[in-house]
Amino acid sequence: MKYKRILLKLSGEALQGDKQYGIDPKMLKQYAQEIKEIVNYGIEVAIVIGGGNIFRGGQAEGVGLERVQGDYMGMLATLINGMALQSALESIGVYTRLMSAIKVEQICEPFIRRRAIRHMEKGRVVIFGAGTGNPYFTTDSAASLRAIEIGAEVVLKGTRVDGVYTADPEKFVDAERFTNISFDQVYQMGLSIMDMTAFTLCKENNLPIIVFDMNKKGNLLRIVQGEEVGTLITMD
């Protein structure tokens, strides 16, 4: 296996599947099976999942809420998704721990870095909820931060597209996909991969990012086995 410890970043929208809102049980089951497959190979897995299928903090001002309040609502949405994924994983025999950046003691543990690492060393999948615990930071930033804190070897950003393109492939049929690209090239070309805070955190800590299609079965396993899947973003 190429990687021993990974952080998987999933968007909340990925869980809604074909639905307009909420959680699609089929997507939940599919993701759980994909994650179980790599856990069975001894890969240590941490997950950060967004909350956009329920509520996105950036929507707050549009519905008359202040931004800070909206961001905290978004953090709670990530915990709902985390609980759903935890339940799906445990229903198929995968031990998990849900850890939160804000205190919700009845449903999850507080995030403690050393405890999180210990859980992973014992083969448990750790799901990080509530972002960084601070408003104005996205779950992409949370993913980068947690990956660095736990010593992950790579951030795997699961999306609906199969990598990074020169333009939006859903809008431009002539868009070309990169197999490899450097952090500096992404800056120079103005490509949108994750928010700039998250991206810069990875660059400054020399943490590679792989952007890939999470909905294609087997991709997750292929990546940890070292196959070229999606787009790899590195320093060079």
Under the banding of pLDDT at 50, 70 and 90, the label for residue 197 is very high
Domain 5-234 fold: Carbamate kinase (3.40.1160)
Exposure on the CB side of residue 38, measured as CA atoms within 13 A: 28
Section 170-181 average pLDDT:
91
Q: What is the pLDDT of residue 65?
A: 86
Residue spans per domain, the chain: 5-234
Give all strands (DSSP E) within the chain, no chain letters.
5-10, 44-49, 96-100, 109-110, 125-129, 154-159, 180-182, 209-213, 231-234
Q: What is the pLDDT of residue 58?
A: 67
Q: What is the pLDDT of residue 168?
A: 83
- The yes-or-no verdict on residue 181 having pLDDT over 90 is yes
Q: What is the pLDDT of residue 60?
A: 67
If you write DSSP's letter for every residue of 131-146 in order, what string do you get? TTSSTT--HHHHHHHH
Section 70-81 average pLDDT:
95
Under the banding of pLDDT at 50, 70 and 90, the label for residue 169 is confident
Q: Are 175 and 165 in contact (CB under 8 A)?
A: yes
Section 108-135 average pLDDT:
97
The closest of 144, 121, 134, 161 to 195, measured between CA atoms, is 144
Taking the whole predicted model, whether its pTM rises above 0.85 is answered as yes
Reported as a single tens digit per residue, the pLDDT across 7-47 is 999 999 889 888 888 999 999 999 999 999 999 999 999 99
Share of the chain above pLDDT 70, in %: 98
> What's the sign of the alpha-carbon dihedral 76, 79, 81, 83?
negative
Reported as a single tens digit per residue, the pLDDT across 49-69 is 999 999 877 676 677 789 899
Q: What is the pLDDT of residue 19?
A: 85
